[in-house]
Structure 1
Amino acid sequence: MSALGSRRLEKFLTVIAGVALFGLMIVTVAGAVARTVGSPISGSIELGTFWFMPIMVFAGICVAYSQREHIAADLIYVRMPRAIQREAVAVGSLLVWVFSLAACYFTFVEATEAMRVQRTSSSSWVPIWPLMFVAPVGLGLLCIQMAVDGLAVVRTGKTRKEGVA
């Protein structure tokens, strides 16, 4: 994935997350106003929970990783010798990649089962199966980003902390 393609994907995901956040705000405010006047909107909580939040979370994970804004606990890392730092980053990144890939697979299996049975919210009419595919797509994009970074480390010998683009 080129740097230009990565920036476009990042910008696209940022817009998608922003639109989802705006949708969540509209549904939340509309639901609160409707409850105040005595006629709540059916499914407003489910729309926020099952439709808008997953989009914001999984798009946000990819954007945070791309911008290097994810949480890093460097307490031990900064005290390691440089040679061990590279090995620690490699092992840690590989473990996160394997976990993310497994989560991607299992969430895809669950989403296909939900699609097969046309799963809806247990308390309302809101269908939730379409948005169950957001998790495997988001995790898949994260795995691709991590694989591209891993290949860059192999190619250049530098970790993300050392300036791999």
Structure 2
Amino acid sequence: MLRFNRVLDRWLTITTAAAIIVMMVHIVVHALARSLFDAPIYGTNEIVEYWYLPIVALLGIPAGQLQKEHITVTMVVDRARSATAAVLKIFACILGALVSLAFAWFGLMKALENTAIGSTADVSAIITWPVYYLVPIVFVLLAVLYILDAVVIARTGRPDPDLDPGEPTETDWEDRTY
């Protein structure tokens, strides 16, 4: 499972970084072409708004879950016994998976609707319907990550599963001895 998390984290990071780099190059070339040659690239604003930004934003959701960087409130779990905390975390993971699957279902319905009408960006002819399929993919992936966390918590009995992608955390630095 740890290998899956590392591969997925690397893939999400590389894909997101590539989208950001391509977006920046696209914007710079557009600005230079507009300024120097008075010939801007058609639909740059729409491509950035409807393609690059959703890719970057949506892929950050499972990446945050993999790296345990989402905001969590741990008032109850921190004060509970380990077994109780594990049960509460499993419940939270199952709830997170169900909510993620609901978002995936809603996203799939919107993607199919946008495919049927051939959705485009505002008044331009740039197609946008393929990007809508990223929503169900991302949220199904997030549900899988929640389920994997719940399985690891159930197997180990520890409320904080160690499924990090190999990056040292703050506590790793504090626990080192020299």
Structure number with greater Rg is: 2
TM-score between the two structures when normalised by the length of structure 2: 0.80
Q: Which has the higher contact order (CA 8 A, sep 6+)?
A: 2
Is the alpha carbon distance of 1:158 and 1:133 closer, same or farther for their aligned partners in structure 2, counting shifts above 3 Å?
same
Identify the residue that residue 91 of structure 1 maps to in structure 2. Answer: 91
Report the 3-state secondary structure (helix = DSSP H, G, I; strand = E; otherwise coil) of the residue aligned with 2:68: coil
Aligned pair count reads: 161
- Percent identity of the aligned residues? 27
Matched, 1:65 2:65: yes
For 1:47-62, list aligned pairs within 5 A.
47-62=47-62
Question: Where in structure 1 are there 5+ consecutive unaligned residues?
Answer: none
Matched, 1:23 2:22: yes
Aligned-pair CA distance for 1:42: 2.2
Structure 1 distance, partners of 2:56, 2:113, is 23
Q: Is the 8 A contact 2:89 2:150 kept in 1?
A: no
Q: Which amino acid in 2 is paired with 1:43?
A: G
TM-score between the two structures when normalised by the length of structure 1: 0.85
Structure 2 distance, partners of 1:54, 1:15, is 16
Structure 1 distance, partners of 2:103, 2:70, is 18
Question: Where in structure 2 are there 5+ consecutive unaligned residues?
Answer: 164-178
Q: Deviations over 1:10-66 (max 9, x none)?
A: 111111101111122122223333444544332111111111111112222111211
Note the aligned Cα RMSD (angstroms): 2.0
Is the alpha carbon distance of 1:72 and 1:35 closer, same or farther for their aligned partners in structure 2, counting shifts above 3 Å?
farther
Q: Which amino acid in 2 is paired with 1:26?
A: V
**Deviation >4 Å, runs of 4+:** none
